[in-house]
């Protein structure tokens, strides 16, 4: 256990600043952060206003937190993909989550309080490294109305969402609820705009569906307008087509009616059945924040991954590395990278083999 007596008893900010940089230079981020937090907290106790040197210290502390997350992420990545294992990546991820378990196990209250508050701010601002997290969308996916959130408890509802990403973090916040007050403005905005968000989300759902149906029709030489309107009639969302499509307005009602009435329901082919499934998928989604066609790896990418898997045993170690780098340079972002890597790990048995050695690109 560290002895922080000197920090507690020191009232000279210059000495504290010197100690801060000494610790920063002597230790790794994981080890130096706890004592650096104590130093900054002590300076805040001593002074109400800060000079440039002290302000710089606060920036350095934030940088130290970022380095800490990077180290945790590297360790998590090594656990998931860096060594041969019978454990599925999803199962490992279900043990380490966002990495707060490492903080909870090794830090005292000051350290846990500081890191948890920073993590919460990152989660709410969607700036958590290597993750694309949207707390607002997740809140809407979990609770269909503002009334349900209020009945469940606003803070409890937020904690329920956070628990999906890291139960260690959510457990700590449950016992230290004031941490959520650091993002109180964001929480208030989400609740205040709840109905507006749902309306915008409904609009996105139908606009994306209209775009995907039309794109499918173009690729399969089908009549866009007629096909879309037939689907709209079957699923009773003609009013949404009218409201959200740029191609229709209230004067087109007669045209829509003629197409629907004249539609020969016996002329339903495979393409039309595929479109019906696509429409059903959109209609059954509670929250749509992106087009469904963009959510998963595209067929061309999967084809390249399948070829690599098929040729894996025929390739030398150097060839595997070169090929894996080539494949993962195709990834548009870290989410797609992880999906591709999981896809390969599911398809290949790595027992007794050396797992591919490559690391994530830096995506901007």
Q: How many CB atoms lie within 10 A of CB 62?
A: 10
Rounded to the nearest angstrom, the gap between the alpha carbon of residue 115 and the centroid of all alpha carbons in its chain is 19
CA 271 – CA 273 distance, rounded (Å): 5
Q: Are residues 208 and 266 in the same domain?
A: yes
Q: What is the 3-state secondary structure (H, E, C) of 53-104?
A: HHHHHHHHHHHHHHHHHHHHHHHHHHHHHCCCCCCCHHHHHHHHCCCHHHHH
Q: Are residues 285 and 332 in the same domain?
A: no
Residue 286, both tokens = 């509670």
In a domain, 213, yes or no: yes
Q: What is the per-residue pLDDT across 62-106, written as a single tens digit (0 to 9) for each? A: 989 988 888 887 776 666 555 444 444 454 455 678 889 889 888
Last residue of a domain, one of 60, 87, 114: 87
Q: Classify residue 354 by its DSSP letter.
A: P
Q: Are residues 271 and 289 in the same domain?
A: yes
In a domain, 363, yes or no: no
Cβ-proximal residues to 283 (8 Å cutoff; 6+ apart), any chain: 205, 209, 235, 237
Q: Is the pTM of this model over 0.85?
A: no
> Is the separation of the CB atoms in 29 and 64 below 8 Å?
yes
Q: Select the more confidently predicted residue: 175 or 255.
A: 175
Q: Are residues 67 and 140 in the same domain?
A: no
Q: What is the per-residue pLDDT across 313-350, written as a single tens digit (0 to 9) for each? A: 888 877 877 787 788 778 877 677 777 877 777 777 65
State which residues form the domain around 176. 97-192
In a domain, 361, yes or no: no
Looking up tokens 């393409």 gives: 271
Q: Are residues 56 and 104 in the same domain?
A: no
In a domain, 359, yes or no: no
Q: Are residues 171 and 151 in the same domain?
A: yes
User: How buried is 235 (Cβ within 10 angstroms: 0-12 exposed, 13-18 middle, 19+ buried)?
Assistant: middle
Q: Classify residue 49 by its DSSP letter.
A: S
Last residue of a domain, one of 177, 192, 207: 192
Last residue of a domain, one of 192, 209, 231: 192
In a domain, 259, yes or no: yes
Q: What is the per-residue pLDDT across 275-295, written as a single tens digit (0 to 9) for each? A: 988 899 888 887 777 776 666
Q: Are residues 317 and 234 in the same domain?
A: no
Q: How many CB atoms lie within 10 A of CB 148?
A: 11
In a domain, 270, yes or no: yes
- What SS3 class is residue 315? coil
Q: Are residues 132 and 201 in the same domain?
A: no
**End-to-end CA distance of the chain, in Å?**
40
Q: Are residues 115 and 168 in the same domain?
A: yes
The dihedral through the CA atoms of 49, 54, 60, 64 has a sign that is: negative
Q: Are residues 258 and 184 in the same domain?
A: no
In a domain, 364, yes or no: no
In a domain, 362, yes or no: no
Domains of the chain: total: 4
């Amino acid at each position: 256990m560290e002895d922080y007596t000197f920090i507690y008893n020191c009232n000279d900010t210059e000495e504290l600043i010197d100690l801060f940089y000494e610790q920063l230079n002597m230790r790794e981020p994981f080890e130096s952060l706890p004592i650096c937090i104590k130093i900054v907290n002590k300076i805040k106790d001593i002074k109400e206003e800060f000079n440039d040197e002290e302000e710089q210290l606060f920036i350095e502390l934030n940088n130290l937190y970022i380095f800490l997350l990077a180290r945790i992420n590297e360790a998590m990545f090594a656990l998931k993909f860096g060594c041969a294992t019978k454990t599925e990546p999803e199962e490992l991820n279900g043990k380490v989550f966002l990495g707060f378990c490492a903080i909870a196990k090794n830090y005292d209250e000051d350290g846990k309080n500081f890191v948890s508050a920073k993590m919460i701010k990152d989660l709410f601002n969607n700036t958590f490294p290597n993750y694309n997290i949207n707390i607002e969308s997740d809140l809407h996916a979990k609770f269909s109305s503002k009334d349900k959130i209020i009945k469940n408890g606003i803070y409890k509802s937020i904690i329920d969402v956070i628990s999906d990403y890291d139960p260690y973090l959510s457990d700590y916040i449950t016992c230290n609820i004031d941490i959520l007050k650091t993002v109180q403005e964001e929480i208030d905005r989400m609740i205040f705009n709840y109905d507006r968000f749902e309306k915008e989300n409904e609009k996105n759902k139908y606009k994306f569906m209209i775009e995907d149906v039309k794109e499918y029709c173009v690729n399969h030489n089908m009549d866009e307008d007629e096909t879309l309107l037939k689907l709209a009639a079957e699923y009773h969302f003609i009013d949404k087509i009218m409201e959200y499509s740029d191609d229709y307005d209230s004067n087109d009602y007669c045209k829509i009616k003629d197409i629907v009435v004249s539609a020969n329901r016996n002329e339903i082919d495979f393409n039309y059945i595929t479109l019906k499934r696509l429409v059903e998928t959109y209609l059954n989604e509670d929250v749509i924040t992106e087009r469904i066609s963009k959510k998963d790896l595209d067929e061309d990418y999967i084809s390249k991954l399948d070829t690599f898997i098929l040729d894996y045993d025929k390739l030398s170690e150097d060839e595997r590395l070169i090929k894996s780098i080539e494949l993962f340079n195709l990834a548009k972002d870290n989410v797609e990278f992880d999906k591709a890597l999981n896809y390969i790990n599911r398809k290949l048995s790595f027992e007794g083999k050396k797992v591919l050695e490559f690391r994530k690109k830096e995506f901007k």
